[in-house]
Structure 1
Amino acid sequence: MKHFLLFICGVLLSSCAQEQRNLNFLEVALSSDNPKIKRVMDSVENYQVQIRYTQIDRRNDSVFFTDYDFQVNDSVYFYPASTVKFPTAVLALEKLNQIDSLTINTRYYIEGDTIESTFAKDVSKIFAVSDNLANNRLVEFLGFEAINESLNNKKISPVRLSHRLGYHSDDLRTKPLIIYLNDSTTGITNSLLNKTPKKLELLNIEKGVGYYEGEELIKEPFDFSLKNYYPIQSQHNLLKRVVFPQKYKASEQFDLSTEQREHLLTAMYTVPQKVGYDPTTYYDGYCKFFIYGDTKKDIPQHIEIYNKVGFAYGTLTDCAYIKDTEKNIDFLLTATILVNKDGIFNDDAYEYDEIGIPFLAQLGREIYQQEVNRNQH
């Protein structure tokens, strides 16, 4: 009898442990009573939320992913904003790796411009403060055709990048780069002609009830069909390849040197004040929406958030690998939310601080806490 009871206890403990392992943390997080989550979930159809969370398990030297989705659908459009800077940065580093005369510290400027930079600085600026000009310089280096083709070749799809950021230039031709090959010589890259983008045919490609064009209110939905397209699945897959390249065959990895990959990963988690930005304006959570987006407190050193955010046209998106080196946990989380109560675009009346960022921050905290609890069992 004693042995039988021990056996039953063992089975119950085992099933509890199994249940703990199999619990859908995303489902639990979204059913939270926290008002930051609840007010969105109570009228979720208004916010066009999409989320993918990946639980990470390790056995011996192997890494295993379990993906959990909420409303993820490549056919339902959201504006990716600055999240497209992530693939641009990675592909610029990869291209450098294939040109013997260039390194991440090579100095350059765009023909007709006065700003001189290096590839290393521009990658750093893209992640620290989401700098548009840094991104656009790398776009001139790559061209949209090369960006889209490279991502598709690595099985990161669907995706379509078609315009620069900060201003939506219709110029299909890239500008030449003036590159310092050494102290006394310079090189000039060729201008590239990109194809005219085709209209995207996706659900929710037209949004809202109106938009401003200059001072004029146009009372019809805002058409996103010629804009960038970079859905949740594609963002998440790119992040996985950068953080866990060993999980993919060589043809699906990015061809980066050890130095380049280290620079990229460091740039991804380094907060603005660590690279010289004013912490009052560019506080730690400025480009880290998950967990810290709704606070101006410093992020503790043991928490590393490797991510890229985007915010424009009322859409907030974060794609992140979150790691706590003290508690020995890590996970991946990508989410987007639209906060545009009046349905008018280009009026700068979006509920970023009131609803969007608090939702993403609390979502990150809910998942994080469950991961901590999971690790303690």
Structure 2
Amino acid sequence: MKVFILLMYFFTHFTMALNAQLKHNSWLETLLKTDATPQLLQVLDNPETFQYQLIYTKIDRDRHNRPIFTNYYLNVDRGRYFYPASMVKLPTALVALEKINSLRDKNIDKYSPMLTDSSFKGQTAVLSDKTAKSGLPSIDHYIKKIFLVSDNDAYNRLYEFCGQQYLNETLWNKGYNELRITRRFVKMNAKENKHTNPIRFLHEGNLQYRQPPAISQARFDFSKKILLGRAHLDSDDKFVNAPYDFTTHNRAPLEDLQLMMQSVLFPQSVDKKKRFHLTDDDYKKLYQYMSEKPSESQYPHYDTTEFFDSYTKFFFFKDGQQKIPDHIRCFNKTGWSHGFLTDVCYIVDFKHQVEFMLSGCIYVNSDGVLNDNKYEYVETGYPFFKEVGTKIYEYELKRKRRRKPDLAAWQLHYD
């Protein structure tokens, strides 16, 4: 009997510890389920299948127009792994800006031509960029491509500039302890990802600063196995009847990504330790690139049949036929891969004086096979984001505010 009681005690406390990680507001659940389509209800009623997480951030303003934030959560669990895919480009871009700012005494900045060389197995060099007005790559231009179309090579180059160790330790020192970025978006093993390229910065055509290659000594905790799915295709496209191992992959909890986005958009609202050391011009450019449509960009110039205006906008949009209304801007970053979709955004409606943040992820992989490129993005994922975004937007249009926000600061000039 004593043994049974002891077991029940540990089971109860273990269950409580697990549940303590889950953040869930019944009010938000009720709001989303009211008059929801059967498709949305199917997702919301099956959190284990779709592994969705949502954070709705309500924004109010005081008499000085300072924002006040209230977060509402649905099925948010820091312990539940989701593959962040291109979401890691957000912290990588911010760390790259912070690092280049620390090199001002070298007479270089984010606009300086940055030439990437190679010195280790698997590395490639970049000595020009035809999409840039100058014909040369730079940190600023890479960041633009990251936010406009989620360019993978641009991310790889910023990863190499930062170096794996500097990138992760910078994030950890800011308190983002559960975030890890271990790899580029190109086929490389763990050792190759530890090695990052030599880089040269130019000034008026001459060598100004040389950054040597780096070897990461960062220590990651891979003690907790992360296995998802029932089967997968390996790197040679061979079927393996076993779960896919994400243990050493990139990781970024949704709450951290939401707070990171808030720290960029509203730096004064976030603890100083969690912010990034950015200049006024850094913020200006980030706001432009986060909200700019591909059709508004001259450099790079995009084929808008492929990179349509809502190409990286999941909430409300993600439809090549749908036009984003001129009075709405979406400042965001998205990620999609391995059946996971993620979007962290700030929506502004200048016409109706509405603003809010919305962050979410979902897993759509009904056959349980990873790496086969057979995911229900179009059938389930994008409609989920669109309906959730629309319902929150409609709620925001109706909710009474003590003070209307002054959103003039977000009316930007684009290319």
Question: TM-score, with normalisation over the residues of structure 1?
Answer: 0.89
Aligned position for 1:236: 258
Aligned position for 2:68: 64
**Shift of the alpha carbon at 1:35?**
3.5
Task: Answer whether contact 2:233 2:372 (CA < 8 A) is retained.
Answer: yes
Equivalent residue in structure 1 for 2:381, among 336, 347, 356: 356
Is residue 194 of structure 1 aligned with residue 216 of structure 2?
yes
The amino acid across from 1:45 in the alignment is E
Task: Answer whether contact 1:30 1:363 (CA < 8 A) is retained.
Answer: no
Task: Answer whether contact 2:260 2:275 (CA < 8 A) is retained.
Answer: no
The amino acid across from 2:275 in the alignment is Q
Tell which deviates more after alignment, 99-108 or 124-133: 99-108
Q: CA offsets per residue over residues 216-254 of structure 1, 9 Å max, x none? A: 111011110000010111101101111110113433321
Aligned position for 1:225: 247
Task: Answer whether contact 2:229 2:369 (CA < 8 A) is retained.
Answer: yes
Task: Answer whether contact 1:329 1:375 (CA < 8 A) is retained.
Answer: no
The amino acid across from 2:284 in the alignment is E
The amino acid across from 2:109 in the alignment is T
The amino acid across from 2:270 in the alignment is Y
Aligned position for 2:405: none
Q: CA offsets per residue over residues 42-63 of structure 1, 9 Å max, x none? A: 4332111111111111112332
Aligned position for 2:321: 296
The amino acid across from 1:110 in the alignment is T
**C-alpha distance in 1 between matches for 2:63 and 2:223:** 45
Is residue 127 of structure 1 aligned with residue 147 of structure 2?
yes
CA separation of 1:320 and 1:194: change in aligned 2, threshold 3 A: same
3-state DSSP of counterpart to 1:234 = helix
Is residue 277 of structure 1 aligned with residue 302 of structure 2?
yes
The amino acid across from 2:175 in the alignment is K
**Shift of the alpha carbon at 1:177?**
1.0
**Shift of the alpha carbon at 1:153?**
2.3
**Shift of the alpha carbon at 1:151?**
1.9
**Shift of the alpha carbon at 1:169?**
4.2
**What are the equivalent positions in structure 2 for 1:248-263 lying under 5 Å apart?**
248-263=270-285
**C-alpha distance in 2 between matches for 1:135 and 1:81:** 11
Aligned position for 2:356: 331
**C-alpha distance in 1 between matches for 2:34 and 2:81:** 25
Is residue 75 of structure 1 aligned with residue 95 of structure 2?
no
Aligned position for 1:85: 89
Aligned position for 1:16: none
Question: TM-score, with normalisation over the residues of structure 2?
Answer: 0.81
Considering only aligned residues, what root-mean-square deviation do their CA atoms show, in Å? 2.0
**Shift of the alpha carbon at 1:207?**
0.6
Equivalent residue in structure 2 for 1:317, among 335, 342, 361: 342
**C-alpha distance in 2 between matches for 1:351 and 1:86:** 25
**C-alpha distance in 1 between matches for 2:223 and 2:76:** 17
**C-alpha distance in 2 between matches for 1:123 and 1:98:** 17
Task: Answer whether contact 1:156 1:237 (CA < 8 A) is retained.
Answer: no
Task: Answer whether contact 2:168 2:218 (CA < 8 A) is retained.
Answer: no
Tell which deviates more after alignment, 145-154 or 348-357: 145-154
Is residue 97 of structure 1 aligned with residue 101 of structure 2?
yes
The amino acid across from 1:102 in the alignment is I
CA separation of 1:94 and 1:196: change in aligned 2, threshold 3 A: closer
Q: CA offsets per residue over residues 75-118 of structure 1, 9 Å max, x none? A: 11010000000011111111122211122211112104144211
**C-alpha distance in 1 between matches for 2:153 and 2:80:** 29
**C-alpha distance in 1 between matches for 2:315 and 2:267:** 23
CA separation of 1:305 and 1:72: change in aligned 2, threshold 3 A: same
3-state DSSP of counterpart to 2:392 = helix
**C-alpha distance in 2 between matches for 1:54 and 1:308:** 16
Task: Answer whether contact 2:60 2:401 (CA < 8 A) is retained.
Answer: no
Is residue 161 of structure 1 aligned with residue 197 of structure 2?
no
The amino acid across from 1:160 in the alignment is R
**Shift of the alpha carbon at 1:199?**
5.3
**C-alpha distance in 2 between matches for 1:42 and 1:253:** 36
**Shift of the alpha carbon at 1:257?**
1.0
**Shift of the alpha carbon at 1:187?**
2.8
Task: Answer whether contact 2:260 2:274 (CA < 8 A) is retained.
Answer: no
3-state DSSP of counterpart to 1:287 = coil
Task: Answer whether contact 2:335 2:342 (CA < 8 A) is retained.
Answer: yes
3-state DSSP of counterpart to 2:160 = helix
Aligned position for 2:392: 367
Equivalent residue in structure 2 for 1:212, among 225, 230, 233: 233
**C-alpha distance in 2 between matches for 1:44 and 1:136:** 33
CA separation of 1:337 and 1:67: change in aligned 2, threshold 3 A: same
Aligned position for 2:267: 245
Q: CA offsets per residue over residues 300-339 of structure 1, 9 Å max, x none? A: 2221111110001010001111111111111111111011
**Shift of the alpha carbon at 1:287?**
0.4
The amino acid across from 1:105 in the alignment is Y
Equivalent residue in structure 1 for 2:56, among 45, 48, 53: 53
3-state DSSP of counterpart to 2:180 = coil
**Shift of the alpha carbon at 1:295?**
5.1
Aligned position for 1:142: 162
